[in-house]
Structure 1
């Protein structure tokens, strides 16, 4: 894969927000991050038809709103995608927890539908109304929300199996241009699977869905916290 930064054009998101158990949420978040008090999880599908160096692919995964030293931050807990170069780059550069799977984000009639299959089994399905209602605050509010700091737990072993790198890596998206943003009631189904454990954060209440499309740049990251120092 080429070295970044990486530019994404017409990147399409469907995000279903839901509430889960506080104990399960705490177990999924590494210290010193603190999970959000509302026990919310963001389950995402991202369609990327035009990404520099990576091509055309789709991604799905679990993001948990947290705080770090009092500042809001989003922690990426799980990611599944169908393209090898961004899997390698994501793990090696930023520490994204990426695995190969088959996510799909498509519009069927009046319904935006996301599915995730792992090892020939469906482990997630989400639906929301297609362009049901313009998002509160419009594209400006969505663009501002996308500037929020995001982070991953990067773990790289040494040749003897012991940790060589163990860091929280942060990054902020740049050059963000949102072209449309909508909200809708949503539904989400998660199926227990040992190798794609999205259902380990059980659904207690679905809050709603958000759908937006835009262009953005993914820059290199920075070390937020080093566990080996």
Structure 2
């Protein structure tokens, strides 16, 4: 009679599905030479607040769109877009991420299952075209976002660049039960360690957002661009921390 896998071994080895060939390698994730084009802008308070769950609060409708090239030794290279909203939680200023888009299935599953990062499959891109840094996001065959920045325009303060590259975030993690109701419903805080900034610039920038039914970045319209930055850094994504449990 063949022996099944003992229950204690299942508990010890389980971190992703399928059990016998996990969809991604064990956490944590380190990113090398992570390039980021980030446009930060002010939007409409009522529209921004409508995406932010309590107990997070919004007093200034500041939104960021980051176009990223991720070089992950364990996940492979891929492009990503992250949308962030400036919020506060228990007196701490923290970035709430309502949506993210990536072209890597492993990176999507890794981020969603472990931390609850709200990743969907899309076609982001970040590239240099002559003197212009260009970031784009396509979803479902249509252009959703396009950002441009003057390349290497003005060097940033190193400490400010490090703070941007390692800024903590918070996400709403939702894992449904087998009956469709939420089994996990939490705000999860995450951060970065071993942050090393290799290059950092600021300069003139522009951001265009286009309506899309399933990638609604344009629902938060651009009213005023506050900053445009380009950083290249090494970072390690930390384990998360549950800061609010909606089912407790």
Which TM-score band (shorter chain)?
over 0.9
Q: Which whole-Å CA distance do the structure 2 matches of 1:52 and 1:30 have between them?
A: 34
2:88 aligned to which of 67, 71, 79 = 67
1:164 aligned to which of 144, 163, 183 = 183
Q: Could you give the per-residue CA deviations for residues 7-38 of structure 1, whole angstroms, max 9, x where no partner exists?
A: 11000001001110000010011111112x33
Matched, 1:46 2:68: yes
Q: Which whole-Å CA distance do the structure 2 matches of 1:19 and 1:222 have between them?
A: 28
The normalised TM-score by structure 1 is 0.95
- Partner residue in 2 for 1:106: 127
- Partner residue in 2 for 1:206: 225
Shift of 1:41: 0.4
Higher relative contact order (CA 8 A, sep 6+): 1
Contact 1:12 1:47 in 2 (8 A): yes
- Partner residue in 2 for 1:80: 101
- Partner residue in 2 for 1:20: 43
**Which has the larger share of strand?**
1
Q: Could you give the per-residue CA deviations for residues 154-200 of structure 1, whole angstroms, max 9, x where no partner exists?
A: 00110000010000011110000000111112111101111111111
Q: Which whole-Å CA distance do the structure 1 matches of 2:190 and 2:101 have between them?
A: 19
Q: Which whole-Å CA distance do the structure 2 matches of 1:148 and 1:9 have between them?
A: 17
Shift of 1:52: 2.8
In structure 2, stretches of 5+ residues that fail to align are 1-23
Matched, 1:34 2:82: no
Q: Which whole-Å CA distance do the structure 1 matches of 2:34 and 2:84 have between them?
A: 17
The normalised TM-score by structure 2 is 0.88
Q: Which whole-Å CA distance do the structure 1 matches of 2:214 and 2:223 have between them?
A: 22
Q: Secondary structure at the match of 1:161?
A: coil
Q: Which whole-Å CA distance do the structure 2 matches of 1:149 and 1:12 have between them?
A: 17
Q: Which whole-Å CA distance do the structure 2 matches of 1:58 and 1:4 have between them?
A: 19
2:155 aligned to which of 122, 134, 139 = 134
Shift of 1:70: 1.1
Q: Secondary structure at the match of 2:184?
A: strand
Contact 1:72 1:148 in 2 (8 A): no
Count residues in correspondence.
225
